Amino acid sequence: MEPTLNNPLRRSVMKGLLGTTSFWVASGNAHWAEALAAEAAQPYQPAFFNAAEYQFLESACERLFPADHNGPGARALGVAEFLDRQMQTPYALGENWYMSGPFEQGPANLGYQLPFVPKDLYRKGIAGVEHYARQQYGKGFAALSALQQDEILTALEGGSVQLGDIPGRVFFEQLRTNTLEGAFADPLYGGNRGLGGWVMLGFPGARADFMDWVNQEGASYPIGPVSISGETA
């Protein structure tokens, strides 16, 4: 599949989505796959997260989605890069969340009621986890053993830890959600490198044509994935 690179509509859509990160400005009219390859050659420079925060994400996301016999983990898939890029989109500002006060807390089943948008949750949440890690183990999160990191993540998930004004569970769910997005979203967002997430699941990506595969009596789909930019694996 050959993307139609001079289609002005697509370019404006992409800009709207990704803002004016250097990658997209630099890419200009270049072939997306080439641009992605060039990008992969040099390490990604985070623009939203500082070095320590980025290091936290690299280690925490890898525990949530570790490399194993199933396939690559969050680090190899570029999940931290995905997260950093997402923090530069309107999503980070809670673009389609209702964020008018008052903010009253209620039963969990009535949903999210905090005055924080995703970028606040990350800034405060990471600082909170680092603080908790030092308190409990005397070291920053990234310096802990995998076992200790898992203990912290389990505590956050279980709801026993408060991270300043953010419940640990809220931060955990935000991180889990975005980590899985980064593992499986189209690689144009910076994660799912080499389509590794899709290969793991046998998901064909943007093929979107199964005319002959509606029912093949339980056989496994034979064609590998393709991304929006035309990358295959």
Partner 1 sequence: MVKHVDAIIVGAGWAGSIMAKELTEAGLSVVMLERGAERTTPVEGAYPESIDELRGAIRKRLFQNLSQSTLTIRNTMDQTALPYRQLAAFLPGEGVGGAGLHWSGVHFRVAPEDLRLRSAIIERYGEKFIPEGMNLQDYGVSYDELEPFFDKAEKVFGTAGEAYKVQGKIVGDGNVFSPDRSDNFPLPAMKDTFSASVFRDAAKNAGYHPYSLPAANASRQYTNTYGCQMGPCNFCGYCSGYDCYLYSKASPNVNILPVLRQDPRFSLIPNAHVLRVDLDSTKTKATGVTYLDTKTRKETSLSADLIILGAFQFHNVHLMLMSGIGKPYDPVSNTGTVGRNFVYQTITSSRVWLPPSTYTNQFVGAGGAGVAIDDFNSMNFDHGPLGFVGGSPVWVNQAGVKPIAAALGAGGGGTPRWGSAYKDSLVNTYKHSLGIDAHGSNMAYRDVYLDLDPTWKDAYGQPLLRMTFTWKDNDIRMNQYVVSKIEPIARAMGATKMNLVHLNAGQPFDTRTYQTTHLGGGAIMGENPQTSAINRYLQSWDVSNVFVIGSNAFPQGMGYNPTGMVAALAYWAAHHIRATYLKSPGPLVKA
29 contributes a contact to partner 1 by CB under 8 A = no
Count, in order, helices (H) and strands (E) of the chain: 10, 2
Cα separation values, 150 from 8, 55, 68, 158, Å: 46, 16, 16, 12
Q: Which residues of 143-162 are buried (b: 16+ CB within 10 A; e: fewer)?
A: ebeeeebeebbebbbeeebe
Distance CA 227, CA 205 (A): 6
Least Cβ distance, residue 168 to partner 1 (angstroms): 14
97 contributes a contact to partner 1 by CB under 8 A = yes
Distance CA 51, CA 63 (A): 19
Question: Which one of 19, 94, 140, 224 is in contact with partner 1 (CB under 8 A)?
Answer: 94
1 contributes a contact to partner 1 by CB under 8 A = yes
180 contributes a contact to partner 1 by CB under 8 A = yes
Query: Site size for partner 1, by CB under 8 A?
Result: 68
> Could you check whether the bond before residue 43 is cis, i.e. omega within 30 degrees of 0?
no
**Interacting span for partner 1 (CB under 8 A) from 35-43, 50-58, 64-72, 119-127:** 64-72
Draw the binding track, 68-87, toward partner 1 (x: CB under 8 A; -: no contact). Answer: x-xx----------------
Strand partners, 54: none
104 contributes a contact to partner 1 by CB under 8 A = yes
Q: Which residues of 25-36 are buried (b: 16+ CB within 10 A; e: fewer)?
A: eebeeeebeebb
Residue 49 or 116 having the CB closest to partner 1: 116
Please enumerate in sequence order all residues whose Cβ is within 8 A of that of 137, keeping only pairs 6 or more positions apart, or say none: 144, 148
Residue 41 or 211 having the CB closest to partner 1: 211
Q: Which two tokens stand for residue 183?
A: 């593992």
Least Cβ distance, residue 160 to partner 1 (angstroms): 16
Question: Which one of 33, 150, 155, 194 is in contact with partner 1 (CB under 8 A)?
Answer: 150
Least Cβ distance, residue 75 to partner 1 (angstroms): 14
95 contributes a contact to partner 1 by CB under 8 A = yes
Q: H/E element holding 166?
A: strand 166-167
Q: Where do contacts with partner 1 occur on this chain (CB under 8 A)?
A: 1, 3, 9-10, 13-14, 17, 63-66, 68, 70-71, 91, 94-100, 102, 104, 106-113, 150, 153, 157, 176-177, 180-181, 183-186, 188-189, 197-198, 200-206, 208-211, 213-221, 228
